[in-house]
């Protein structure tokens, strides 16, 4: 029986790989430098048939939840986009209760404003 992706992410093999990547990246989002927002490990590309932990470390990167969400949204619109062509800048401090994030990718630019509740 084939496990679904969320079950694979619970595997000790993935948890070990995830921690290895986060340590390498010093528990910091490699796009915006955030150290406070929940961190995720992003696969820069997927290889059919590979389990999440079966990737070379150079294909894995630590991203904060905000950056990871934006990367995945961009990939929905353009699945062939090259990860390195995406740039994200996020304010490190709250201003009037909001944090601002700028996202630029080829043919795409956006500004996102998060309030203190994360919406």
pLDDT above 70 as % of the chain = 90
Label residue 119 by pLDDT band (50, 70, 90).
Answer: low
Q: Residue 90: is its pLDDT beyond 70?
A: yes
What residues does each domain of the chain span? 5-115
Give pLDDT tens digits for 37-62.
Answer: 899 999 998 888 898 999 999 999 99
Largest alpha-carbon pair distance within the chain?
51
Let me know if 111 is exposed, middle or buried by CB neighbors in 10 A (0-12, 13-18, 19+).
Answer: exposed
Please answer whether residues 71 and 42 qualify as being in contact, where contact means their C-beta atoms are separated by less than 8 angstroms.
yes
Instruction: State mean pLDDT over 90-109.
Output: 75
pLDDT at 12: 93
* pLDDT band at residue 114 under the 50/70/90 scheme: confident
Least confident of 7-11, 50-54, 101-105, 113-117: 113-117
Distance in angstroms (rounded) separating the CA atoms of residues 106 and 119: 26
Measured in whole angstroms, the distance separating CA 45 from the mean position of its chain's CA atoms is 12
pLDDT of residue 15: 95
Q: Which two tokens stand for residue 91?
A: 């304010």
């Amino acid at each position: 029986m084939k496990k679904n992706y969320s079950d694979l992410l619970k595997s000790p093999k993935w948890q070990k790989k995830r921690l290895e990547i986060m340590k390498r990246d010093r528990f910091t989002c490699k796009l915006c430098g955030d150290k406070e927002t929940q961190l995720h490990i992003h696969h820069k590309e997927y290889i059919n048939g590979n389990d999440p932990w079966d990737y070379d470390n150079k294909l894995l990167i630590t991203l904060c939840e905000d950056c990871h969400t934006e990367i995945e949204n961009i990939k929905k619109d353009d699945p062939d986009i090259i990860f390195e062509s995406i740039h994200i800048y996020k304010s490190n401090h709250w201003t009037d209760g909001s944090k601002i994030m700028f996202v630029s990718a080829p043919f795409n630019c956006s500004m996102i404003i998060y309030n203190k509740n994360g919406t």
